[in-house]
């Protein structure tokens, strides 16, 4: 029997609630398939700060690095906002990403037929959307130096540095080309090469890398145009690769095409251990109410089965179970629709787990 070691980091806010449901679904998969999941839990973010005085305890970093995959809930909340920047929950997550060398963030955006009405866009615009945003995760203004706020000539000045090396661009663009190869073979590289030299380099390196992938059609687009096209005609996109900051913004925009952040999984990959987490945050406004949508976390677990454990059939079973529960008319409040049956976090997890069990029986 194959055994996989999963570092489970529920985090803050709704994190622990949605994680319970993903664990429940994985439990059913393990019972029915010939696999064993060893899940080890750790604290990260605000909850880790409260207990250990740091948002990323060393033991958690070690556990994550030694695992076969990391499954994370979400971090952050107003309680920790007054803390020094270095102690904030989000720094824990950034530290984990860089500690694991996770340079590629993959966000699939798929519209579920039964949720088409939950999108603010017209059905004819979003029907059939199936795109993948590949965001660079370890460079750009998020890590570049110099950074900070200082006083100069009697006034405060804030600085962040947008920086990319050729090697950093090449490895993320390569990842995107490989992913496009397994899909519809269309790659869009997004930059702002008309005003930012760093992305002029991005464009050049993307074009050079493309010579090794003659079977994949490469296009370039400025980020402002891409933001507009995502709303105007999202169906035109297959794989989009872009910088850390542009990817941060475009992927949240793309997520709303589906109607709710609560539906979107993500994967972050590097050389070794990958991490899987929902695209949304810790939703402090609804934490503890038992109404959070656990589907993004459950779908992230499905991505983990496919990409880290080589279990594509089991991953498809989980995704199909989600589709069937939606088809049967069950909704959490964030994706509520007229005539649907509203259920809480736990009931939604139970429904998916039950369907997974039935599909694997
Ligand atoms: P958020 O994603 O937490 O919430 C935005 C809105 O979407 C809220 O109204 C929330 O209730 C709703 N929402 C999010 N996930 C939901 C779910 N699963 N089910 C139902 N509704 C859901 O973003 P925010 O409010 O900007 O940030 C809250 C905190 O989360 C902040 O501290 C922020 O720094 C942190 N954050 C963490 C991550 C992460 O851990 N990866 C990502 C983004 C934000």
CB-based contacts of 142, cutoff 8 Å, min separation 6: 94, 244, 245
Do 243 and 357 reside in the same domain of the chain? no
| Closest ligand 1 atom to Cα of 73 | 40
Q: Is 77 in the pocket of ligand 1 (CB under 6 A)?
A: yes
Same domain assignment for residues 89 and 137: no
Shared domain for 4 and 81, answered yes or no, is yes
Instruction: State in Å: Cα 49 to ligand 1 middle.
Output: 19
Query: From the CA of 295, how far away is ligand 1's center (Å)?
Result: 14
Give the pLDDT score at 119: 82
pLDDT of residue 118: 78
Residue 174 lies in domain: 130-256
CA distances from 229 to 113, 125, 207, 226 (A): 21, 11, 22, 5
Active site residues: 142, 192, 224, 248, 252
Residue 263 resides in a domain:
no
Query: Quick one: 252 and 276 in the same domain?
Result: no
Domain count, the chain: 2
**Full 3-state SS string of 260-287:** CHHHCEEEEECCCCEEEEECCCCCCCCC
Residue 321 lies in a domain: yes
Ligand 1 contacts CB of residue 21 (under 6 A): no
Q: What is the full DSSP assignment across 125-140?
A: HHTT-EEEEEEE-S-G
Ligand 1 center from residue 208 Cα (angstroms): 38
Q: Is the CB of 356 under 6 A from ligand 1?
A: no
User: Does the residue 80 lie in any domain?
Assistant: yes
Best residue among 22, 78, 82, 261 to mutate for probing ligand 1's pocket (most ligand atoms within 8 Å of CB) is 261
CB atoms within 10 A of CB 118: 21
334 touches ligand 1 (CB under 6 Å):
yes
pTM for the model: 0.90
Q: Is the CB of 251 under 6 A from ligand 1?
A: no
Q: Which atom of ligand 1 is nearest to the CA of 18?
A: 18
Query: Does a structural domain hold residue 116?
Result: no
Q: How far is the CA of 264 from the centre of ligand 1 (A)?
A: 12
Residue nearest (by alpha carbon) to ligand 1 atom 25: 283
CB distance 90 to ligand 1 below 6 Å: yes
CATH number of the CATH domain containing 198: 3.40.718.10
Q: Is the preceding omega at residue 107 within 30 degrees of 0, hence cis?
A: no
**Residue 25, in any domain of the structure:** yes
Residue 181 phi, psi (nearest 5): -60, -35
- The total of other beta-carbon atoms located within 10 Å of residue 154's CB is 5
Q: Is the CB of 281 under 6 A from ligand 1?
A: yes
What is the signed CA dihedral for 21, 91, 240, 273, rounded to 10 degrees?
A: -60
- The pLDDT assigned to 29 comes to 97
What was the pLDDT predicted at 128? Answer: 86
* Residue among 281, 293, 342 whose CB has most ligand 1 atoms within 8 A, to mutate: 281
Say if residues 240 and 257 touch (Cβ distance below 8 Å).
Answer: no
Q: CA–CA separation, 13 vs 146, rounded Å?
A: 32
Asked whether residue 74 falls in the same domain as residue 27, the answer is yes
Mutate to test the pocket of ligand 1, among 280, 285, 300 (most ligand atoms within 8 A of CB): 280
Contact between residue 356 and residue 320 where contact means Cβ atoms under 8 Å apart? no
CB 121 within 8 A of CB 115: no
Say if 113 falls within a structural domain.
Answer: no
- Give every CB contact of residue 85 below 8 A, 6+ residues apart in sequence: 91
- Shared domain check, 89 and 3: yes
Q: Over its length of 361 residues, how does the chain's per-residue pLDDT go in tens digits?
A: 899 999 999 999 999 999 999 999 999 999 988 899 999 999 999 999 999 999 999 999 999 999 999 999 999 999 999 999 999 999 999 999 999 999 999 999 998 888 888 788 899 999 989 999 999 999 999 999 999 999 999 999 999 999 999 999 999 999 999 999 999 999 999 999 999 999 999 999 999 999 999 999 999 999 999 999 999 999 999 999 999 999 999 998 998 888 777 899 999 999 899 999 998 999 999 999 999 999 999 999 999 999 999 999 999 999 999 999 999 999 999 999 889 999 999 999 999 999 999 999 8
Q: How far is the CA of 283 from the centre of ligand 1 (A)?
A: 4
Q: Are residues 217 and 318 in the same domain?
A: no
Sign of CA dihedral 218, 219, 222, 224: negative
What's the gap in Å between 200 CA and the centre of ligand 1?
33
CA distance 41 to 59: 11
């Amino acid at each position: 029997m194959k055994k996989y070691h999963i570092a489970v980091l529920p985090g803050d806010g709704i994190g622990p609630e949605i994680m319970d449901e993903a664990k429940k679904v994985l439990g059913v998969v393990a019972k029915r398939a010939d696999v064993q999941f060893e899940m080890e839990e750790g604290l990260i973010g605000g909850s880790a700060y409260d207990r250990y005085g740091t948002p990323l305890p060393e033991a958690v970093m070690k556990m994550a690095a030694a695992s076969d995959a990391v499954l994370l809930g979400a971090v952050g909340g107003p309680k920790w906002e007054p803390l020094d920047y270095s102690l904030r929950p989000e720094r824990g997550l950034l530290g984990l990403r860089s500690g694991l060398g996770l340079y590629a963030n993959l966000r699939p955006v798929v519209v579920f037929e039964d949720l088409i009405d939950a999108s603010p866009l017209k059905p004819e615009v979003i029907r059939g959307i199936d795109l993948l945003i590949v965001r660079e995760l370890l460079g750009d203004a998020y890590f570049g130096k110099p950074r900070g706020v200082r006083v100069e000539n009697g006034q405060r000045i804030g600085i962040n540095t947008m920086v990319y090396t050729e090697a950093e661009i090449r490895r993320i663009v390569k990842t995107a080309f490989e992913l496009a190869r397994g899909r519809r073979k269309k790659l869009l590289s997004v930059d702002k090469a008309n005003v930012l030299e760093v992305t002029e380099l991005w464009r050049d390196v993307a074009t050079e890398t493309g010579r090794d992938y003659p079977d994949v059609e490469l296009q370039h687009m400025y980020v402002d145009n891409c933001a507009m096209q995502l709303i105007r005609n999202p169906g035109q996109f297959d794989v989009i690769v872009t910088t850390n900051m542009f990817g941060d913004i475009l992927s949240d925009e793309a997520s709303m095409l589906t109607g709710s952040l609560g539906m979107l999984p993500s994967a972050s990959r590097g050389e070794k251990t990958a991490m899987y987490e929902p695209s949304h945050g810790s939703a402090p406004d609804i934490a503890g109410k038992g109404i959070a949508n656990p589907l993004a976390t459950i779908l992230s677990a499905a991505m983990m089965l496919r990409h880290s454990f080589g279990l594509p059939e089991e991953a498809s079973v989980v995704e199909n179970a989600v589709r069937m529960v939606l088809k049967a008319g069950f909704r959490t409040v964030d994706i509520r629709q007229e005539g649907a049956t509203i259920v809480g976090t736990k009931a939604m997890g139970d429904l998916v787990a039950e369907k997974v069990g039935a599909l694997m029986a």
